[in-house]
Amino acid sequence: MFDWFRRSPGSAPVSYVLQWALVRIAGSSNLVVRLVSIAAALPALFAIWRIGVRIGLRSSRLPILIAIATPLLFRYSIEGRPYLPAFCLTALATLLLLQFVDRPDGRPPLWRLGAYGLLLASAPMVQASAASVTVAHGLFVLADRSMRGNRRRQVSILASIAIGVLVPLAWGLRMRHAWSQTIAQDGYTFAFTFRTVAGFLKDITGGGLICTGLLAAAAVYGYIWSGIPRPAKNLLALTVVTAICSAIAMDALAGYFTSPRQAIYCLCGLIVLAAAGWEYFQSRYSVPAVLFLGLFVAVAFARDVSVVRSKEDWKAATRMLAQVAAQGFCVLPDSYLTSPLAVYSFFDSSLETRRCTGAERLVALVHSPYTTRAARDSAVTALGNQGFVAAGTQASGGTTLERYVKRPL
């Protein structure tokens, strides 16, 4: 697993180690492998609710409704990936910082500062781009007028933020060379075009243009017109902007492809500001506000339904590979990163014994749902150069398998 971290750019150990331990203890099942994400969903909702209460929203249920409906949060609350656990930690850290803002009389209690620093240190060790929230918090504490008014409080919070940076920074520096090699080997490139940026921004919510547009418009309206405290507005807005810009900047720096999920941490501030905006808008235009909220929820829930009807089925794909292996074919993934044999041998360990060594005459080339076109073409070209010819294709569970037979000399 730790070798895999070197081959997965931006990976962090905490969530995967915990997931691995749970699987070893309780066995593999659809529930166990998703348990960390499922467990993180409730405290994440709690943090969003408490932030809404702290900044004075009249309807504390509204941000919870929006958060539950938002497709990107829903998706990663039921997937065995680290985004929702990291989001949960950043939301709790934001809640703590808002509590510090509300204590203008002096330095926050030491245990709260320690918990705050631990949350900021842990989140990027669960998923690397969560460090964008640490950056946003640091900028806020440095620039906010209420923070500058009490140097003792400002310095103590900045010290917690600095401590929270050390471990993630050490991990990133240790892994950056291996990650850059993997990015180069797999042919990823960063593209900053109008199309890619527009696609990135509209999929911030996971619900397309309608969900993202409505949420962003409500958040801007809430920031400008709602009566929530100015420091809270600034912190939430700064978190939104920093999370989005940092995700793009990190991908550009690494030469990696842009992905909206890297900016999932903007959703805490975006949802709370949007709730404030909808609340203020409803006080003046009740019917349009209800219609806009209903449209958002309807589109979001439709997207949520499509998430749970995924065409990926790794067990079905594994059975297909096992059947072909039983016919005498060795198994060759087209990419170590996107089609690793370990994904399939997790469900059938006998597949490891059928890994291609280079001497076989029957090859089953595996393309996972995440295989890039470049990786597929490269693998096919390599087999053609070795004298193999295509002998059929089949697909199952989102995985495509191509049979190749070596021509006789």
**pLDDT at residue 409, as a whole number:** 65
**pLDDT at residue 40, as a whole number:** 96
Report residue 339's pLDDT band, with 50, 70 and 90 as the boundaries.
Answer: low
Is the per-residue pLDDT at 243 higher than 70? yes
Portion of the chain with pLDDT greater than 70, in percent = 98
Summarised one tens digit per residue, pLDDT across range 267-325 is 999 999 999 999 999 999 999 999 999 999 999 999 999 888 877 888 899 999 999 99
The rounded distance, in Å, linking the Cα atoms of 117 and 98 is: 14
Provide the mean pLDDT of the chain.
Answer: 90
The rounded distance, in Å, linking the Cα atoms of 206 and 70 is: 7
Q: Is 206 helix (H, G, I), strand (E, B) or coil?
A: coil
Report residue 30's pLDDT band, with 50, 70 and 90 as the boundaries.
Answer: confident
**Closest Cα to residue 140, out of 275, 253, 241?**
241
**Closest Cα to residue 91, out of 113, 126, 120, 129?**
120
Is the per-residue pLDDT at 100 higher than 80? yes
Q: Where are the domains of the chain?
A: 2-308, 314-406
Report residue 183's pLDDT band, with 50, 70 and 90 as the boundaries.
Answer: confident
